Amino acid sequence: MEPTTEKPQENPSMPQDPNAPPPYPSTAFAAPPQPVAYTSQPTAINVMHTPVIATPIFRDIPVRTSCANCRSDIVTRTEFEVGSMVWISCFVAVIFGLWLGCCLIPFCIPALKDVVHYCPNCNNVCGKFVRLH
């Protein structure tokens, strides 16, 4: 009578082979990076910030420009007009005690006034220099 040897369980059907490939191939998770569809837009976007026609900067002196009305190359005729800068200076003068007519001094100072540029040919207003926006 052969003794039934109680061997430790050896299941040959499921070998724990360390070299065996994992049940799920790694490529199933680590998918290759999808090629990014480069939507290159060859249309130039940065065209807007460079105007073709340079508009003159209207300051307190006559500028050379082309009149939009009569389309002639002119040097503008400037006229000073009372703007917000004059009124603010007037109020500041009143606050500081200059209220016996002295607060009207800013109305006589062209450096505080806005400047309107007229066309000398057709009197069209070509531009305006506002000191305080």
DSSP per-residue letters across 95-117 = HTT--SSGGGGGGG-GGGSEEEE
Contact between 75 and Zn ion by CB under 5 A: the answer reads no
Residue selected from 63, 85, 88, 122 as contacting Zn ion according to rule CB under 5 A: 122
Residue selected from 67, 86, 112, 116 as contacting Zn ion according to rule CB under 5 A: 67
**Nearest-CA neighbor of 91 among 78, 80, 106?**
106
How many Å apart are CA 67 and CA 84, to the nearest integer?
27
Residues between 100 and 119 with contacts to Zn ion, criterion CB under 5 A: 119
Closer CB to Zn ion, 84 or 121, in the complex: 121
Q: Which residues bind Zn ion (CB under 5 A)?
A: 67, 69-70, 119, 121-122, 124
